[in-house]
């Protein structure tokens, strides 16, 4: 039987909405379009079916998310995932953390970093490349109004180009959005 998950993990999880998702058979044309439902794609997650209550936002957010996380050039995929992880740790989004920590592991094999983050949370001690990326992501998440050129300089000193820094900003920002949907409209559960 499925049960809520409260601790960070890289295990595959399910998501249980707190409100009734849109029923696919009752969806309007606008909702079907926002969910990208086609005759060959009718397997839609409860998360997407829940967000389909607001098709106008869903239709815009999905491509924006993909552009930020999978866009060409700039910050590495792993770098974008680290922004997602730091943000999701602070916002305590168990589901987002599980997905993006697992992806970071697939790309880097750095089990040591993920275990340190899960054990120490926002106080995690990482290596010379990842520490400034992690710390910047947390600061932008916690106190966005206090981000300053000094914070940018720290990332530059760590070897990031300005385009890579911008991509990190976008990753942190989009998870400030995603966490506030995933963590507040439902909860992570065991499969």
Partner 1 sequence: MDILELLREAASNCPAEDFLAQRGTLLEMSYAANDAVVTPRKPGRLSYPLRLAIAARISGQCKVDTLRQIYLERLAGLPEADEWSAVADTSAQPPMDTFTAAIVAYSDLVTLHPAKATRKDIVILQKSGLEDADIVQLAELVACINYLTRLVPGLRALETAS
Angle at 115 (CA atoms; ends 155, 102), nearest 5 degrees? 80
Instruction: Establish if 57 lies at the interface with partner 1 (CB under 8 A).
Output: yes
- What the block records as the tokens of 9 is 């993990």
Q: Binding segment for partner 1 among 6-14, 39-47, 71-79, 99-107 (CB under 8 A)?
A: 71-79
Q: Would you give the binding string for partner 1 spanning residues 157-176, x where CB under 8 A is met? A: ----xxx-xx--xx-xxx-x
The answer to whether the beta carbons of residues 160 and 78 sit under 8 Å apart is no
Selected binder of partner 1 within 6, 11, 153, 159 (CB under 8 A) = 153
Q: Which one among 26, 56, 123, 128 touches partner 1, defined by CB under 8 A?
A: 56
Please check whether residue 93 is in contact with residue 179, taking contact to mean a CB–CB distance below 8 angstroms: yes
181 lies in the site for partner 1, by CB under 8 A: yes
Question: What does residue 147 show for φ and ψ, rounded to 5 degrees?
Answer: -65, 135
Q: Does 67 bind partner 1 (CB under 8 A)?
A: yes
Write the CA distances from 165 to 5, 57, 114, 129, 143, integer angstroms: 33, 26, 21, 13, 17
Residue 145 engages partner 1 in binding (rule: CB under 8 A): yes
In whole angstroms, the minimum distance from the beta carbon of 112 to partner 1 comes to 25
Please, are residues 2 and 16 in contact by the beta-carbon 8 Å criterion? yes
125 binds partner 1 (CB under 8 A): no
Contacts of 121 (CB under 8 A, 6+ apart): 89
Residues that bind partner 1 (CB under 8 A): 18-20, 50-51, 53-54, 56-61, 63-64, 67-68, 71, 73-74, 90-93, 140-141, 143-149, 151-153, 156, 161-163, 165-166, 169-170, 172-174, 176-181, 183-185, 187
């Amino acid at each position: 039987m499925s049960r809520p998950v409260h601790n960070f993990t890289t295990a595959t999880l399910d998501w249980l909405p707190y409100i009734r998702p849109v029923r696919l058979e009752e969806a309007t044309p606008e909702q079907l379009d926002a969910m990208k439902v086609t005759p060959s794609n009718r397997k839609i997650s409860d998360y997407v079916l829940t967000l389909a209550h607001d098709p106008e936002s869903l239709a815009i957010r999905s491509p924006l998310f993909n552009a930020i996380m999978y866009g060409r050039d700039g910050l590495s995929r792993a770098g974008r995932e680290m922004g997602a992880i730091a943000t999701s740790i602070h916002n305590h989004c168990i589901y987002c953390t599980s997905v993006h920590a697992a992806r970071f592991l697939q790309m880097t094999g750095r089990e040591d970093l993920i275990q340190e983050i899960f054990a120490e949370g926002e106080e995690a001690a990482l290596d010379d490349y990842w520490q400034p990326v992690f710390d910047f992501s947390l600061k932008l998440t916690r106190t966005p109004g206090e981000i300053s050129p000094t914070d940018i300089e720290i990332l530059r000193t760590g070897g990031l180009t300005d385009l890579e820094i911008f991509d990190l900003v976008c990753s942190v920002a989009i998870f400030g959005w995603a966490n506030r949907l995933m963590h507040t409209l439902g909860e992570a559960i065991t499969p």
